[in-house]
Chains A and B, each alone.
Chain A
Amino acid sequence: MRVKKECVAMLLAGGQGTRLGALTQKIAKPAVPFGGKYRIIDFTLSNTINSGIDTIGILTQYQPFDLNQYIGNGQPWDLDRLEGGAFVLPPYQKAKSGEWYKGTANAIYQNIDFVDRYDADYVLILSGDHIYKMDYSKMLEAHIAKGAACTIAVLNVPISEASRFGIMNAKEDGEIYEFEEKPKHPKSTKASMGIYIFTWAKLKEYLIADEADKNSHNDFGKNIIPNMLGAGEKMYTYDFKGYWKDVGTISSLWEANMDLLDSGSGLDLDDPDWKIYARNMAEPPHYVGDNAIIRNSVVTEGCEIDGEVVNSVIFRGAVVERGTVIHDSIIMPDAVIRAGAKIEHSIVGWSATVSEGAKIGKKQAQADAGEWKIAVVAPESTIKAGSVVDAGEMVGEEGK
């Protein structure tokens, strides 16, 4: 028996993230770069350690190599502990069988032994594709105080958007009586953030029963939560107030990066009491040349900037040559933007090259039905000199 851990976190990082297209061709969604020097997964990993939870299983499946390498022994997040720490948990061959993770619940089911090894009383289920800062220890306190079987973190969303989320209908004290997945006519505005705390003994029962059900999707939202509700388990909402964003689409990923530039957005990473940690790449400070104009933008270590950068996020090690214009865009690590290129409302993937005079994307005053038409240049691809990439177009690794 290992040292007991009151609460173990399990981070679901296996999703392919198909809606991110070219950005997730070679890496899993949680490994996608964010905010200049981070990866999306840094937020949940940092939240976990900052909440005093030091044992976390990271469930990977799709393109795990980059993510495994990034997490390593967990040291950048202080998760290299003698007992506990960060563990990457891919599906594995067991004595009698071996299979991929069939769904979110099945992924936890297959790792029951991992949670049991730490004799955990509670398990915190997290997603690796959300940008937010949250103290899970407060949620755990609420869960324990109410003697709940399950506590679900919820965010108040505008009623007009509620039908895009899983909505929790709850009594005044937070006890959930109904769960509706993407309801046409939502009765409440409490949207599930995909963050659950379960009393482990209870969850284990339901995971085992769910696994026995051949018709199940083995999914928390579709099966486990409705089953527990149907059986009359005590389930509560936990109200989260603050910045939270699902960055599952190109448009939302772009928006969340832009939120870094807006002091009113509520996304503030410069908080000494709640640092977001990332693996450090040992780059020198960035250099700004004589021809540079940089306004309302974020620039990271290792960059060399000699062009015009406005309302943009420039990631680690990017090169922006003289005479380029970059507006409202995201330039990911080690991308090179050659002289005279013009980039607007775009995402340029890591290690991509945009050659001289290329034009990427188009300026947009507002989103069209909630979606921006963001041009995307695939990681490691090359856009030839003078090429034009339209608004909303996605250029694959073959380049253009």
Chain B
Amino acid sequence: MNTKMVGILFAAANETKLNELTIHRTTASLPFAGRYRLIDFALSSLVNSGVTRIGIITRNNYSSLMDHIRMGRDWDLNRKNGGISVFPPFVLNTSREVYKGKIEALYTVLDYLKKAPEDYVCMANCNVAANIKVDDILDEHIKRDADITILCHKASVNSSKRVLITKNDDGLVTDLSASEIPSDKEHLVSLNIYIAKKDFLIAKVEQSYARGYVEFEKDILFKEVENGKIYAHELEGHAAIIDDVKTYYNESMKVLDMSVREELFGSLRKIYTKVKDSVPTMYMNDAKVKNSLIADGCVINGTVENSILFRSVRIEEGAVVRNSIIMENGIVMRGGKISYTITDKQVVIGAGRQISGSETYPIVIVKNKIV
């Protein structure tokens, strides 16, 4: 374990493409895999890597995030030294202006970074669900004397903007480019998780901010490639980038695969989340459940197949749920049938109602809706 690194998490990323799912929340607090919020993966990975000082930079709709994080106790981050700090999105105390890009966002927390005794920074977007041994990657970063290490994995590009990486056998980045053209071909794609030398990062942010630059990737990272100290680390384990409804659905369904669950949850490096003290799930006499992930607190008396039920969901007699995701406190009443549907928190599907989306275009039902 080391305490050489401070964490900076960007709570907001690509909200616009998650549409209905982020009307009421920031990406970081998007529910995932039955009982988690996306930020739990980044927080837990850092905590399990010995990082005890983590700043979270918010952007919009962050009340759900504040409610989730509280004092950070559920991640063992209620500490006298370090712990969790949540930063509001305003550039300056005197202005109401929200930061534009990551450079401005980092500029708002420069004092925090300077005061932190750690020599390295791990900064990450919260839209990645992975259980990452960041401490191992830091060791590699130090050994290489890198300025920045980019965490990446092999993936095909969807319509969201991704940074594509070309590296040599030593991991040295030789070229970076941005792409948002969907393709089936696999590339080495950035996870938008970086390890950087703290002093290097602070200096670059100060210089770039003074010149009015806003985008970290374009204005710092791309330019630094020629200096030859930007490295890439390719993750071997499972990593899910979630940036639109389709990837949210697909990546959720992958968790039904045992090997993916094993990678996310199988080690002693646990994924922590807010404790809610739900009771265990009750299966009634007419429950028929196959290939599904079920959180605590549910009461099931219907059919559930290839689906994910979050905490305290009720499936009544004769209801059928297939290939769907039902978030916390959802109810499918007697005889209701849904397939390829994502219901947000507290959605009620009335008796006998039928809703079906398709695998390529799952239907999203917004929070608190009664159908």
Contacts and interface: CB of A to CB of B under 8 A. Distances in A.
A266 interface: no
Interface residues of A, number: 35
Nearest to A278: B277
Contacts of B146: none
B289 A285 contact: no
Contacts of B310: 285
Contacts of B286: 295
Contact of B295 (A293, A297, A298, A301): A301
B297 interface: yes
Given A286-B294, A287-B292, A298 B270 contact: no
Interface in A259-283: 261, 269-270, 275-278, 280, 282-283
B293 interface: yes
Contacts of B289: 288, 292, 294
Nearest to A309: B283
Contact of B292 (A280, A288, A300): A288
A296 B284 CA distance: 4
A67 to B, nearest CB: 20
A64 interface: no
Given A287-B261, A299-B281, A76 B256 contact: no
A309 B283 CA distance: 10
Given A76-B275, A277-B277, A282-B270, A288 B282 contact: no
Interface string B56-87: 00000000000000000110000000000000
B330 interface: no
B264 A284 contact: yes
B273 interface: yes
Contacts of A57: none
B297 A275 contact: no
Contact of A269 (B256, B279, B308): B279
A83 to B, nearest CB: 19
Interface in A347-384: none
B293 A37 contact: no
Contacts of B245: none
Nearest to A271: B279
Contacts of A290: 290-291
Interface of A: 35-37, 75-76, 261, 269-270, 275-278, 280, 282-290, 292-301, 304, 309, 313
Given A261-B282, A290-B291, A300-B280, 15 more contacts: A76-B275, A280-B275, A282-B272, A284-B34, A285-B33, A285-B293, A286-B295, A287-B256, A287-B293, A294-B287, A295-B283, A295-B287, A296-B283, A297-B283, A298-B282
30 contacts: A37-B280, A269-B279, A277-B277, A278-B277, A282-B273, A283-B265, A284-B33, A285-B35, A286-B293, A286-B294, A286-B295, A287-B294, A288-B289, A288-B290, A288-B292, A288-B304, A290-B290, A294-B283, A295-B286, A296-B284, A296-B285, A297-B283, A298-B282, A298-B283, A299-B283, A299-B294, A300-B280, A300-B281, A309-B283, A313-B280
